[in-house]
Structure 1
Amino acid sequence: MTNTGLTIIKVGGGAAINLQGVAEDLAQIDGPKIVVLGANAVRNQLARELGREVRTVTSLSGHTSVFSDEHMIDLIFMSYAGLQNKKMVSWCRQAGVNAVGLTGLDGGLIQGRRNRGIKTRVDGKKMVLRDHSGKPVSVNDQLLRTLLKDGYTPVLSIPIADEDGRPLNSENDDIVALLHQSLQAQNVVQLIEAPGLMGDMDDPGSLVSRLSAEELRQWETRVEGRMRRKLTALNRLFENGATRLVIADGRGPQPISHALAGEGTVIECQPQPC
Structure 2
Amino acid sequence: MGAAGLRVLLHSVRYEVLPAKATEDKVLAHVPRDVVVTVTASPVKGLEPTLDLAGRLAGHGYRVVPHVPARLLRDDGHVKEVVDRLREVGVDDVFVPAGDADPPAGTYEGALPVLRQLSELGRPFARVGVTGYPESHPLIHDDVTIQAMWDKREHATYIVSNLCFDPRVLGEWIARIRRRDVTLPVYVGVAGPVQRAKLLAMATKIGVGESTRFLTKHASWFVRFAAPGGYAPERLLSRTEEVLTAPSAGVAGLHLFTFNQIAETERWRRALLDRLGG
TM-score (norm 1): 0.35
Q: Going by fraction, where is strand more abundant, 1 or 2? A: 1
